[in-house]
Structure 1
Amino acid sequence: MKLYTVETGNFKLDGGAMFGVVPKAIWQRTNPADHNNQIDIAARSLLIEDGDRLILIDTGMGDKQPDKFFGYYNRWGNHSIDSSLQKLGFHRDDITDVFLTHLHFDHCGGCIQWNKDRTGYEPAFKNATFWTNEDHWKWATVPNAREKASFLKENLLPIQESGQLKFIERTSDRFQKESELGFGIHFVDGHTDKQMLPHISYKGKQLVFMADLLPTVGHIPLPYVMGYDTRPLLTLAEKELFLNEAVLEGYHLFFEHDAHNQLCTLKETEKGVRLEELFTFDQLFN
């Protein structure tokens, strides 16, 4: 097995929305805001090369939406899935599986693209199986009013219509040690129902892809919960359980949304679980 980081494109989100009830005077110490009160956000995917499989975890937001849509998110930098894959010696047609932590547009939008004459949509990874879980799929395709703007039908329905959609078989465990894709999965429900966090054993370390349970290093303290979360008190409980486990087991946390930090470890302090050490992917594994 070999892992690679894939930067799909950076954007910006409102800092207040990202930190919920935490005052700006506190959160801006770790996540400084610009003149629009927006903070830097990454859409960092993870690529797993395992035998004949090439598995991409999340795809970023893609590029099929109109300029008005992207105007809300102020994309910045030069990253894209295609350029990132090319640097690694791969092409999107090489991808055999796309694992989706959840179906908000900034995690799955890159799954679908315009067709050649822009009359309809098609899978952006024509040879891939797209993986979610059945409960989350139902949650996303019949969305509540709170999340309707994040679950976009143009991102979801073409996946189903392509015939390339499959569901992870779920046990009742909060942490499912095995899956069809060869890695474990932590299930969490506070941000959105049945979000999945991949847990990968790699080069003697336990790597957990944090998705939206822990968007950035600045979100490590327990009360630092996003305003986007549908069940913030549940997120609080899930975070506490996971962070304590991460300290005990020595997990390495992989950040999807932290534009300036890729991985970290945690430690227990008098104030609770806090950052221990930051790493780049290359520092840790190459």
Structure 2
Amino acid sequence: MIRFENVTFGYSDDRLILDDLSFHIPKGDFVALIGANGAGKSTISRLTNGLLHPTKGHVYLNDKDTLKTPSSVLARDCGFLFQNPDRQICENTVKDEIAFSMKAQGWPVDKIKDRVDKVLETFELDPEWFPFSRSRGERQRIALASVLVCEPGLLILDEPTTGLDYLECIRIMDYVTKLNKEKSITVLMVSHDMELVQSYARNVLVLNHGKLLGQGPVKDIMKDMDLLKKARVLPAQIPELTLRFGDEFKDVFTVEEMLDALRNRTNKGGAL
């Protein structure tokens, strides 16, 4: 779905944001991009959907070279949820906001109405709401609905839960996960929240100063403390804690798994 081949990007020769970056994300994967501020995460997102073009190398989205493909064409394959929903909401009612991208892509009128009605029901949104009068969580749901109504093959999430409370965060991420599993929508998520990454991503790309330090399954990355330290990223709490408890806890990654492991140890007569 996404392929970077020796990609370098910078605003000048002495200010490189990405340096000779290569990786591949297959269709249907759920990948998190992690790294400290300035690592190049958001730049990768914008290179993927054609908002930026590589200085050197090539970026392919669904086998389309972003250097040779108009961004309007790439937009049919890629939906982008901004960190701040207010930067992408532009209509005065929710129903018009959700229909906006479909109209821009030339969808038939009857198809637009059917899709908008379905998405309004799915996201429990009032079609007549004025978007900017709603809470941050509701505005994020509106923005996500307006992206997903076009059924993109790739969904890019740029810090999708910033400013949301716990319940709003779970609501949005559970819906995204359902789409990923049931519709095989590829998800690329930029996040500083390692608890979120551990709970939802399947694979992780680790960046630092525009270079790829490592990549692999989330359970491997979350327990590679040396790699996370090099990337200047704090690990999720449970994986960090289990490393202190030895091999008996090596497969523990969640609170529920930790409680089960502690109960088993107690039942066997072990000390806590």
Length-normalised TM-score, structure 1: 0.31
Higher RCO (Cα < 8 Å, 6 or more apart): 2
Greater percentage in helix = 2
Greater percentage in strand = 1
Which of these two proteins has the greater Rg computed from alpha carbons? 2
Length-normalised TM-score, structure 2: 0.32
